[in-house]
Chains A and B, each alone.
Chain A
């Protein structure tokens, strides 16, 4: 004990709870199978670049087989009484809870996010979504969509890598509750938790074909959304891909929901609870390393308290623990992929080149894997790229404002409109701001809080349609 500071010893969560197979197939019609052309790709742990497993690269033929399986399962599944479908969903929710530690470790390995987040945020939310939508399954006539709202058919769902299992839950739970069947494509860099979920579907004895998982890269997702046997397309991901999906789907009978990028404004007034606002700024931009579509990536702080808030923020950021995602004390894990790291690096460099002031705390980053230190840019203006483009990384752009009107004008001056936060002790101001901000979610005196009962979605280039809550049912009903 020859140290004189409170240095936390490593506290790694054990990997032993996850049994990884060397390779994984596609999950079609209740069975795991190889890709029709035998192609595979590797999925790596972003924290170490260690290869975790080989995963089947789906082909157009595989997508077709999955859609056919879902189509074949649809009549029986949709004809089940809601209470019967609910039983399956409740069962899945319970198995998710029982296996939550295993899935948390798996998600942390494959995604690179800290175990503290997968354990305390992702997995509890995953189960909560299944429980919540299970509850709706037999109450659809009371949801406000008519006396007997019908499902759409086969849902083609494409999800991102930032919350792999949670985005799966957001997509699959409402789809199944309303009587649809599903073909889901997880992100190329994070396929594993979806494949473990496939196993959970079998464990819950979900009828074959109700849920199908096709792994692969972007073109596989394109095949899926373009497939004529798909009645409903749901996508969460980048705005660029969302636009191309919208073009593909245009002119067809497919129903579409898109949950895309964002450049969320976190607005701190001079009467805010400063210590909690600082926590909110930190969780707004450093939760999941800022790889969150609704991240509070633009801090708008009232000029009269800017200095105080920034000092407190920097002090707080200096206590963030960056490193091994499986260490229970890690606050910020790895960036999900080399490509994402390159994008963050490029935009951060652009911020510096355009004249913003860059700051990061002293922190040692691991030598292997994909890492980016938490970063704050001050002296940012609306004209800077880092104030306009989604960085999707642990990079905060700080702007100031003088009046509430200016805050609204700056917050809304973005092609996006997914999230915003308002920090003030004045209740009337919160209500007024919430009315004026063009954002799908406005958090007051908090940030990045999710609940399955609350609808989530965006304005403008952040997409359309809502997920979660009663509103989230509409996307999967023929109404």
Chain B
């Protein structure tokens, strides 16, 4: 076990001259301000101490001291500590040493800031465009404060992303941007030799909406949770909860215990429905539609219950900074008990059927194999990591909400393949049912909202992680003026997991591609707006949600 003091001491002993300041507002958070020349060494030192790379945060600090800030975040999983390494570079020469050669998972974070903030990373192995559209003008960095949030540069013709060269003797099979395996737009160029996959290149972020920029410039603290929920169509509560916790950390707010219990219950409800959804999709991806239909039938009960509790099947709008918006009455609690009892029984039937089905084993065992070491190297999270014998779970490692009082197991298997992710997810669903039962029994009485005066001291840093069904979601928040964050960075669990997919695909069969990509339960964050294009004139107009409502109502009245 390491304590914050020991981490400070070890870093001071080695890098006395490069460390400017330590800040530890909570016993579980450590912020280290360092000189940018040692960013790679200190990151490696933290990894050596047992740290796991989470995400990097870049931010525009030009107005204050003409610098661009960069923060690398790490989690000490065994010690319940988050270490954030903060550094900065002058805006006229924003060059940092890349940490990607040692920590491959930092690759996307760094590429993101090349695109969005105009940073440079020395020694980055693949500094290609990641987020911005191919026709985005050079030299316009949308996350900088001087770029307006609603800037729409003119579209350009004849620009295309240059995919990596296919290895010799390989054919390129395009998977995406629209493909039944993906459910959301993203493009994998898969290089195959016969039917064997020899590599792939990924081009995603096709529906990147700039939610972070929008929230940093337009919305207030307690409007953001509702947008945060819409980051993901499946695990919305997770993002609202992570964000709310960040704000509460920054504001030094302690919310009521009952609200924390309700948050726990909401998060576990979400886990149950998400895992059942995944099990169905996984069945569909290997051509086993019966698994698909049956697990979605079982899932339907929890969807109906959610609608009764929150008014929505999904995107509950329950969690805001300061607490939750709706209480769980004793009647609703009883109903939830009976719903999860049914799911418990019915899922057990499916579990036994799946576990005993040799043809499912044939399609999932030994497929998408990567070793525990590779999984750790790529900083994989969630069931994807736990199926590879990486024993991490932020509910247990960094308890939040009411998880400190819950008794539950973290299923970990060492099969290192897709089958492992099936087992882990089903077992986790049973654990989620267990957690909901305990939470309902132990839930204390009390208010569900704690007064949040929205008056947060500017420039306070906060980091928070919540275990989403797909793995941990990490949010980083820097409080700002005008009642809104200065910087809000969201890292969904698919962000690290997707970077590990090429390693999982290597030397597998093309027929296994759907289930391998599916095994991380990818979620490309998809709430896109509708654009109407007049084909003849090429004129574009946007349909607002009001217009869509009108159209659908008109159709309904017309009886179509």
| A and B assemble together | no
Interface residues of A (CB under 8 A from B): none
Which residues of B are at the interface with A, using a C-beta cutoff of 8 A?
A: none
